[in-house]
Structure formats: structure tokens, C-alpha cells
Structure 1
């Protein structure tokens, strides 16, 4: 039974987003050093306890990286920026200052002590070697010839070492290797005359170039990783489960709750087993939709923890979008046909409503400003179209209704929220080609572009998750049905 269910899950996932998988294993060992996995942050808002368990199993870095690259086409690494006044930043700054002060003292000795400078040139050489692509063998040969550590040390011993000359070569090579976005940084290096300041800046720009190289590597590997990510993530999660007594506890509760809710809502006919009426795919898709109602205080299911931040972000965006749609619906219902055909007005009102709602968690307070704005804007539009404007009584009625709709339990908000989720469920359940613009529910047409954008992002996350964890879901649902049939 579990195998048949898994086939159903895999079939629908492939129809939504075909992923071709190959037999070879994903090998990331070579890239891990380049990408400096320890500095990579995964999805925001993940459950800390579960992440600690993954880290204890030595799985989180690779699994998180593969997942991020697979589901986020814009995933990039950024240079590490330590918080101001943090202990880590203070320690780093003290250590860096001590190094550069010592280097300056060494170079000011008579005769100069070049030991620290030679070590620094060696470190720079290693970084440049990493930035040179394998096919550029001539550049690598030239680097080894120009920054020959043994020759540099001999020049220092004979007092003929020209550090500025080596710096000039390093800058010229960096100009050849850097991405266009770093051209201005490289050009600035040529203006430094103090050798300490110059090498300090060289190291800073090299750090940026390392991040650029890492992102270039990610872009190059992305197609390969996306092809392999389903098997890779599933295998890593299986390894994690072996370290736990019950690593699917929250996932099981999640699916069980949804199944029970669906069974109740379906109201099966007498004599028909509940288990036979609620299909595995209906349970799974319903479980994903339930994430839109997830509380911040409730632990996320283990199988969706990697995307907890994304799912919660989509949840918040949907809540805000249904509020905007509710405001527009109430406004147009109150004013009627007088403004319904006004070209460009819905977009103008929607844009301003979003701005007035931004940066506040108090929707009721924001609604005061929104009510004032809408009354003013609607009356101006009515006047332009030579319709009678809203009198004081009608304006107060509109403001009162808008104030009431700020409550998430308001009937209009609840209705549009339900329609939005039904729309998303339809997208998840669709087989073959599906044009979302043809299925946007009434009341949400004013936010059609936004609801389709949210639904599309949600669908992509679900398809990937369903492909990775489908076998685990099938096993859990099969166990539920087996228990009920006994």
C-alpha cells in the first residue's frame, strides 16, 4: 500500500515540476572548502532544537546548503559582517590591529625584518591560486614564478626585496581574476602608497573575490545539484532518522491531525470506511495548506523544517494580502458601480493601502489612516466622474466597516482567506497544465497578480518537499490506515 501511495505522490510531483534524477551520487567534498559551509545560514526561523539535532548528526551544513541552492534560484553567499560591539568583532579587530602593528614595526627595523611580510605574501599567493580556474594553467605558472617564496626569502636576506613591486603584480593579477563588480575596488588599490594600508586593502578585496568565486561555483553547480537534490536530501534525512528514537514525531502529528479534519469534513456515507475516502495525496496537500495557519509557538514538522522561514513568510504575506483584498471589496461594495470601472483606480488604492499597512502590527490603528485615505480618494474619483460624493454619514459607515474588517475573524477576511487557500489547494492538486489566472476566486481579482505569485512560490516549495519526503509521508499514512482497518 505504501508503495502505491508513494507512486501517486511521485507522479503528481513530477507533473507539477519534472525533476530528472541520475544514478551518480552528489559529491560536494571539493566545493565545501570553497563555500565555507560554517558561515552559511539556512532558512530563517528554523526550529533551534531540531537544527541542533541535525548538527549533532553532522548533517546540517551539507543538507542545508543543497536545499538552499535547490529551492532558491537567487541563493548567494554574502561577506560575513559581524555585529558592532559584539565580542567576536572586538576580538577580531584587536587581533588584526596587533598583526598590522607588528608588521609595520618589522618593516621599520634596521635592517627590515621581512619574515612576517613573506608569510603574508605566501597567504596571498594561496588565495590567488584558489581564484585561478583550473584551465588557466599559464596564469598559475606565472603566479608560481612571480611569487616564488624561496626567491623572495633570498631577496630579503640580501636586502634587495621590493615589496611594492610584488604588490603591483598582485594587483594586476587580481584585476584579471576579479568579477566586473570589483573593478572599482581594484582600481582604488593603486592609489595606496603606505605598504601596510595597501596590503590590508588587498586582503579585504581578496575576501570579497573569494565570495564571488564561491557564488560562481554555486551557479555552476546549481543544475547538477537540482538534479541530485531529491535523493541527496532524502538520504541525509534517513541518516538523521537513524540517530533518533522518533525523528518524525511532529510530522506524524501534523498528518494525523489533517487526516482527522478531512475525515470529519467529508462526512462519509454509512458503511464506507473513512480511510478509503481520504486519499494520501489529499492528506498531504491539506497538510501543506495547514501551514498557512501555523502558530509561531508550535514546533514545525521535521520534514518541512528546512523551509520554516519561507512557509511562515508566505503565511504572513497571505494574511496581509487577504486584508488588502477585504478592504478593497468593502470599499467597492459601499461605493458601487460609480467607481467600479474607473481605470487604474484599484491599482492606485491597493498600492497606497499596502504602504499604510507596512511597518505596523496594529491593523486596527492602520485602518484609521486607510479609512481617511479611501474616503478622500473615492470622493475625488466620484467628483471627476460627476457622481455624487459620499456624505459624512456614508463616510463614517465605510470607516466603521473598515475598522471591523481589521479583525482576522471578520467574516469577509475569513471568506477570502478560505478562497485563497482553496485556490492554492487547487494548484497543488492540478494535473497537467494549469492556468492559475483562470481560477482566481471572486473577491481576490483585485490582488490577482500577488495571489498567483504567492501561490507559485508555495507550489514550488511543496513540490520539492513532496518529492524528497514522499516515501516518509506514505509510510506514515499507510500505518494510519492499517491501524484503522484492524
Structure 2
């Protein structure tokens, strides 16, 4: 213990005191220095950066830490034991740890309680749905992985097979080359063995001494073989030289024009040389001259395809690119093998190079045949459609024109059909060509509307009773002539009668009659000889009036006024039935006496009138008055009339009787019109001229719109003629005629946006307003459907000349009622195309958006899409070329090339619709020029004599019309 204290005292003596440590000589002088910044930063810290005191439980503020700190600071002055400090420190640490463990246990207990509470709370579980969804997602993912793996495996197998084939080909080639080398070595060995070397000697033999060498004995067989080998080598050498002298190469073909190279490839000398060089490479195994000639031309077409692909191909698709690559492989392998033919190998190609050329040639021929088959099929369809369209023209004109014109048409159509038939037979073969033509003509004639027979089908039975032995009796002929003469001279009388009648009487007469105005009737017969009156425009209104009449009769019966209503209804039915009969006829007398209003009124007053007998009488006479094609409808009405019923059913029967009698009146009017049609057509032109002149005299119409329309068409034609003559040389051939000007005006009027303005139509064509509006709608529908089909063909990389007739006909029916009236129309058309053509999802979405855009533009009538604008302009040009044809030969030529022209335009599916439009416009123009030709001549003469002022006015009006047309398109 004493030693310890002594040791501590010695250590304390060694430790210097604080004054000794802090004081320095400078300090003794009273001067102090600041420590360096890094030292000051450790001791003199800012108050805001000083660390805040921790909690009371912190080890820094614990008792042991305080004691330890104090003990350390006052180590020299403290005499406490180290055991006490360590014990206190340990106790403080343990207390601190116990407190923290207690906090953790309390927190864990709280978490456990919350978890138990959450677990005990009832809630809906969708674990099964999640499991099912997870299972489906897993299966879908596995299917995708399996498909991807299968695709990778297939690709790997294909690569492995290709590698295997390539290695086998290389092995065969190496084997053949090795055999050739061994054969050459063997040949050299035998040659060396045959010519033995001389022995070595010490010195050269003297010059005068000749060495005697023995030549080997050659047999006749070996000599023949050598001669034949030399001859064959000479022949092959001549073939190669002849081919090289031709100088045919890809560079030469590219530098030469297409027409010149076409003539060059058709030269017989070149064909013979090509035949020989192809025989040298074993490319013509067949001995038949026809297949050999076709193979030679196919081989030469490879040069033409590589030199002028734009002239050879009509489209740029995958099949064309594949054919170009196959042609390139063939020409490269052929020229490479040709360059190796020398006199050292006797101009004989090696088996390896021959095999390479043969494989490339086979691949090219296969691709060429596939491309030619597809291209020829489209060409065959186009020519068959042209043949059928010519037959349609002949069927339409053979009975509607005079014999001279019909003969001219027949000769022109027959010549063009003969040309088409020979071409179709050349491409498709005789049997298939005849089959396709018969099928097309059968379908065309089956789809044409059948003409109404002029016999018993539409003739009322009472009319046939008057002339049982002849189709038209003498009285009927006289009646037709009288009716025609009255119609031709009824202009002034009809107007006087209409002037004496009131406006309401005229309106009611128009409602209750189905016969149109005389001028409309004659005009429709002039355009369509088979025209018949249609009751659809006024059918609904007449049914509504008949319904009002029946309802009023029901109310009269309820009010007790049955007698007057029964007599009035009987008189109404009696008057309608008597109009169908001639006075003096037995049926006329029977109906007049049975349905006498006074007689029926007396029966109603006495209470003996029977509606059952009345309906029985009506049911017995209606079948005798109707036409045969009304038998089913009239028979159903007769069975309904014989059924007993109450007042409501009786009124309904009367309504049905009035409805059927209206149809019988329509049939009788059409029968009279059919009999009088030939006479009316003869008088139609004069009658229309007189009516039009009378309207001009009475100032009901003017020719202002007609003048503006004619001037616009004339300026457009003269502008086009000036474009064809840029040097302003008036060539009479290029100057437009009156016929061309009229055709241009008619086409500009008919092929435009569907909305037809009141001031846009000239006065001379006012009666054709509905027909021109319908043509406008058809032209817009053709353009819209053509744009959709053209977009689909381009997206699916199909030939634009191929005819998608089924899709076009279905879309024609879908768009018949409107474009975007039904919001589901674009999806219907998309599904229609997708059902017949497989397409990927990306193509389907792109096509769907295009269809929606095109239908929206068609609905508004503003075609801003470039495809629609181009198609619409091409359609307009095509129709103008056909309508403006003046002679029958030009019409036949235009019709024979119509199908090919529409296929080139991008509208191959609308041959029949375009032909119908051209036929209607041709008839409209022919009738209009006959009726109003003198007024057109006056307007044309006014323009010619008008000078510059009229020309400037016409150009301004033309510019206004073109601006309006472009605005409507955009």
C-alpha cells in the first residue's frame, strides 16, 4: 500500500502543472496569440451548431459517465476507486438497455394487438379471383413463351438445315474439285510416263547426231475421239465468241432505251445464239422447240428486268423485288461461269459452276412464272370484263336503234370482241377462255333488269277482253293516235284549264293521281322507253288521306250518320272502279248498277243493306279487274273481305279496298302508257320544244343559267386546247367542237359534289334534276369505295388491278343509306374487309382510321384526301372520254377499253356502275340536244360574235366555277 502511494506521488511529481504547461516566455511578457483556425474550430464552436443535450437517460448524462468524466478531469486530485466508477457505469448501461427493451416489448405488443384486431375484422376476400387471374396470366405468359420458343426453334432448325445443306454443297464441290485435280495429276503422270526422259550423259551429243524418238502408235478409235473432242471444243469456242460479240450485259441494257432493247431481244439471231449458250450450260433439257423458245425468252427477260424494271413492272411489291433479286443471281452466276471458259478447259464449264447456274436459273424461272401468273390473271379478268361490257352494249342497243346504226354497232363490237377473244385464248387457253367468257356473259345478263313483257303480265284482264284475238285492236290504235294528238296539242288547253282551276283543286288532283305532268311523262319516255309510272312518291300521302276518310266514317257511324257515309263510300269506290272500264262494257254496267248511290241509300234507309254482301261483291269483281301479277295480293284481300267482323274490322276492310283499287288504277295507267308509248315518243321532241318556247315567251324561265353554264364549259375546253397548243397555233383538230363543249358541261354538272344548287342547273336540264343528283351520289360513292379498297390493297400489298367485286358490292349496299349517319358504319366496313382478307392488328387499325376519315369527307361532300381527289378526277376524265365520243365506232372503242382504263385508274370493281352512268348521261345529252339544240346554237353563236368582252366574261365565270369546284373538293 505504501509502495503504491509512493509510486503515485512520483508520477504526480513527473506530471507538470497546468501553469507550467500553458505559460510560455511570451505569456510572461503579457502577450497572447490566437490558435490556428483549424484548432480554433475544434475548441471555439458556434452556439447555433452546438449539439443539444440529450435526454436524461442518455449515457452522456448518466451518473457513471459523469463520474468518469469528472474522474478523468481531476485524476490528479481524485482519490476515488476505479471499481466504483466501472460499477456505476455498468449499472447505468444495464438500466438503459432494460428501458429500451421494455419500450421495444411495448411496441411489439401494440403491433401484435393491431395485427390481431385487423385479422379479426371481417372483410371480403378476392383471393380466388386473384388466383384465377394469376393463373390466366401465367398461362398466357407460358403460351407466349412457348410460341416464342417454337419460333426460335424453327428458326434455329432452318439455320441448321441451311448450314447443313451449305456444308454438304461445299463438301461436294471440294470433292469434285479434288477429283478434277486428281484426274489432272493422273493425266500428267500418264503423259510423263509415256514420254520417257533421256539418260544423263557426260557431254552433249554432237549437233550432227540426231536423236531418234519413236512416236506412239495411235489407234483409229483414239484418233476419232481426239477429232471429235477438237471439233466439240471448236463448236463451243464459236458459241462463246458469238455470245461475246453480241455484247449483251446489264450495263448495255440500262444504257439502251426500252423500245430499242425490246426489238433487239426479239431478233432471231440473238435468240439462236442464246439457245446455243443455254444449251452449253445445260439450261435447255427439253427438245421441243416451243418450250425451248419460251425458256430462251424467259432467260433474256432477266436482262430486261434488271435494265428497265420501271417499264416491266406495273407495281413495286415484294414479289417484284424477289424476282429482281433472282434475276440478279442468275445473271451474276452466268457471267461468272462464262468468264471461266477458255481454251485450256476446252470452253467446258465445270460441274460446280454448271450446278450453280442451273440452281439460279430454276429459282428465277419459278419466281418469273409466279409473277407472270398473277399478272396474267389480272389481265385476263380485265379483258373478260371488257368482253362482257361490249355484250352489254350490244344487248342495250340492238332493239333500241335503227337497223343501220345497229349494224354499225354490231360490226364494231364483233371486231373488238374477236381481238379480245384471241388475247384471252393466248393467255388462258382456249377452253378456259370460253368458260370465263360464258360465265361472265351469263352473270351479266342475269343481273340486268328484265324488261316488262308487253303481254298478259301487266295487261288488266278487262283490257284483254276487249281484244282477245290481237294485241291491239283498231279501236285501241285509234285511241292511241287520238291521245297522242291531244297530248301534242294540249299545251295551251292544259294551261287554260289549270288557270281556271284553283290552287287547292290542283294540289288535290296531284295528290290523288299517280300520273305525272304531260311534259314529265313525255320526257321520261324519251329517255327510257320502258318507263312506267311509280306510285311511291304519293303513296304514303294517299294512304294517309284514305285513313283520315275511314276514321271520319267511323266517327259518323258512332254519331248515327251511317246512311250518308255508306252511300258516300260506295260512290267513291264506284267512281274509282268505273275509271278502269269503258262505258258500255258488261263489267261497267254491273258495277254502275250494283253500287248505285241512290239504291244503296234506300237500302240503308230500309235497314236491309248488308256489308257482308257488299264485300262479297267487291271480292268477286276485283280478281276480274286486276293484272295477273296482282293475283296473290287481290286473292288475300278477297279472303279477308269474306271474313265476318265488327265495325272496326269493317272500316279496316274499306281501307284495304281503297288501297288495292289505287294499285289497280296505277296498273291501268301503266297499261295505257305502254300502248301509247311509241306514238308519244315520236311526238316527244316537238312537244318539249313547244312547251319550252312557250315558257320562254311567258317569261316563266330565262336562259341566263344556260348561258353561264355553256360559257363555263366552252372556256374550260378552250383553255385545255390552249394548253395543247403552247405556241398559240390554232390547229382545227385540237379546237373544241360544240359536241365536246356540251359533253364537258354535262360532265362538269353531273360528276361533282352531291349537293346540286338551284342556280347551278341550266333551264334546259331542269327535268333531269333528280337524275343528275342521283348520278352525283353514285359518283361520290364510287370514289369513296374505290379509295377504301385502294388503301386496303396497298396496305396488304395486293395488286391494285385485282377486282374485289364481292367487297365492293357489299360496301355499295352498306353506304346506300348514308356514310356517317350510323356511327358503326366504319366498323362494319372494316369487319367486312377483315372477314375476307387476313390482316395484322396494326394494318387493321390503320385501315379503320383511314375508312373513318374518308367516310367523314364523303358525308360532308368535301374531298380533301389526296387519294379521293385523284380518283374523283380520274373518274370524271374517264366518263368524259366515253360520253364525248361522237360516232358509234368511238363509243365502241371507248367501251372496249373501259375496263382496262378503270383498272389502271384504280376502280376495276365499278365497270357496270360506270357504264350505267355513261349510258344515262348519253341518253340525257341525246334527248336534250334534240329538244333544245336551237337554243344551244344561239348561245354558241352569241359567244362567237361577242368578241373579247364575251370571252373575258366567260373566262371569269369559268374561273368562278373552277374555284367553287375546287372549294367543294377541298
Give the TM-score taking structure 2 as reference length: 0.38
Aligned equivalents of 2:932, 2:797: Cα separation in 1: 49
How far 1:205 sits from its partner (Å)?
1.6
- State the SS of the aligned residue for 2:819: coil
For 2:400 and 2:705, locate their aligned partners in 1 and report how far apart those are by CA, in whole Å: 27
Q: Deviation at 1:102?
A: 2.4
- Select which of 68, 76, 85 maps to 2:534: 76
Secondary structure of 1:76 counterpart = coil
Deviates more, 1:418-427 or 1:368-377: 368-377
User: Deviations 1:174-197 (Å, cap 9, x if unpaired)?
Assistant: 332234232212321111344674
Distance in structure 2 (CA, Å) of the matches to 1:141 and 1:364? 60
Are residues 1:452 and 2:900 paired? no
The structural deviation recorded for 1:367 is 6.4
Residue 220 (1) aligns with residue 220 (2): no
Question: Matches of residues 117-156 of structure 1 in structure 2 within 5 Å?
Answer: 117-133=566-582, 137-149=585-597, 151-152=599-600
Q: 2:660 aligns with which of 191, 208, 221?
A: 208
- State which of 774, 777, 780 in structure 2 corresponds to 1:313: 774
Cα distance in structure 1, aligned partners of 2:648 and 2:830: 61
Hey, what's the Cα distance between the residues in 2 that align with 1:312 and 1:157?
57
Tell me how far apart the structure 1 counterparts of residues 554 and 848 of structure 2 sit (CA, whole Å): 65
Which residue pairs with 2:518 in the alignment?
Answer: 62
| Contact residue 15 and residue 432 of structure 1 kept, 8 A | no
Does the C-alpha gap of structure 1 residues 340 and 416 become closer, same or farther in structure 2, counting only changes over 3 Å? closer
- Quote the offset at 1:228 in angstroms: 3.0
- Equivalent residue number for residue 360 of structure 1: 819
Residues 306-329 of structure 1, C-alpha deviation per residue, up to 9 Å, x if partnerless? 222221221121122123223333
Distance 1:167 1:324, change over 3 A: closer
Question: Residues 398 and 468 from structure 1, CA distance in 2 versus in 1: closer, same or farther, beyond 3 angstroms?
Answer: same
Query: What's the counterpart of residue 385 of structure 1?
Result: none
Closer/same/farther in 2, CA of residues 129 and 206 from structure 1, 3 Å limit: same
Distance in 2 of aligned mates of 1:391 and 1:149:
75
Q: Does 1:182 pair with 2:629?
A: no
User: Structure 1 residues 211 and 371, CA, compared in 2 at 3 Å: closer, same or farther?
Assistant: closer
Question: In the aligned structure 2, how far is the partner of 1:469 from the partner of 1:41?
Answer: 29
- Specify which of 739, 749, 759 is matched with residue 281 of structure 1: 739
State the number of aligned residues: 430
CA distances 1:218-244 after superposition (whole Å, capped 9, x unpaired): 343142433433322232222111122
- Structure 1 or 2, whichever has the larger Rg, is 2
Deviations 1:47-88 (A, max 9, x none): xxxxxxxxxxxxx9332343345546354124532499xxxx
CA distance 1:228–1:202, change in 2 (3 Å): farther
Aligned to 1:328: 789
Look up the match of 1:413.
Answer: 868
- Number of the residue aligned with 1:7: none
Unpaired stretches in structure 1, ≥5 consecutive residues: 1-13, 43-59, 108-112, 381-389
Match status 1:264 vs 2:719: yes
Change in CA separation of 1:421 and 1:75 when aligned onto 2, cut-off 3 Å: farther
CA distance in 1, matches of 2:542, 2:604: 40
From 682, 695, 700, give the equivalent of 1:240.
695
Q: Deviations over 1:284-322 (max 9, x none)?
A: 111100011255445222222222222122112112212
User: Partner of 2:765 in structure 1?
Assistant: 304
Deviations 1:378-415 (A, max 9, x none): 446xxxxxxxxx795x7787778778877634444333
1:346 and 2:807 are equivalent in the alignment: no
Of 536, 542, 553, the residue aligned with 1:99 is: 553
* Residue in structure 2 matched with residue 11 of structure 1 by the alignment: none
Decide whether aligned partners of structure 1 residues 198 and 141 sit closer, same or farther in structure 2, where only a CA change above 3 A counts.
Answer: same
1:470 and 2:933 correspond:
yes
- Equivalent residue for 1:47? none
Distance apart, 1:170 and its partner CA: 3.2
Worse overlay, 398-407 or 60-69:
398-407
Give distance in 2, aligned partners of 1:420 and 1:485: 34
Q: CA deviation at 1:277?
A: 2.6
Greater RCO structure (CA 8 Å; 6+ sep): 1
CA shift for structure 1 position 207: 4.1
Instruction: Classify 1:363/1:252 alpha carbon distance in 2 versus 1 (closer, same or farther; 3 Å).
Output: farther
Inter-CA distance 243–185: structure 2 relative to 1 (3 Å threshold): same
